[in-house]
Amino acid sequence: MKRKTPLKIGNLELGQGLILAPMAGITDMSFRLIAVRFGADLVTSEMVSAEGLVRENPGTSYLLQSHPDEKPLSVQLFGSEPRVMAEAARMLVDRGTDIIDLNMGCPVPRIIRQGAGAVILKNIETVERILTAVRRAVEIPVTVKIRSGWDRSSMNAVEVARAAEASGVDAITLHPRTAKQGLSGVADWSLIAGLKRAVKIPVIGNGDVTKPEQVEDMKQQTGCDGVMIGRAAMGNPWIFQHAKRLALGEAVRRPTTEERLEVMLSHLLSYQQLRPTRPLLSGVRSRLMWYSKKLPGASRLRAELGGCRDTKTMIKMCESFFASLEEGA
Q: Which residues are catalytic?
A: 106
Given a contact cutoff of 8 angstroms between Cβ atoms, the answer to whether 241 and 215 are in contact is no
Which residues, other chains included, contact 315 with Cβ-Cβ below 8 Å and sequence gap of 6+? Answer: 265, 268, 288
Give dist(CA 207, CA 319) in Å, integer.
33
Give the distance from CA 8 to its chain's centroid.
Answer: 18
CB 274 within 8 A of CB 29: yes
Q: What is the DSSP string of 147-202?
A: ES-SSGGG--HHHHHHHHHHHT--EEEEE-S-TTTTT-S---HHHHHHHHHH-SS-
Q: Which residues contact 304 (CB under 8 A, 6 or more apart)?
A: 317
Q: What are the residues facing 47 on neighbouring strands? A: 76
3 state DSSP class of 275 = coil
The runs of H, that is alpha helices, within the chain are: 29-37, 50-54, 58-63, 82-94, 109-112, 124-137, 157-167, 189-198, 213-222, 238-247, 257-274, 281-290, 298-306, 311-328
239: helix, strand or coil: helix
d(CA 122, CA 145): 15
Residues in the chain: 329
Q: What are phi and psi of 149, to 5 degrees?
A: 160, 180
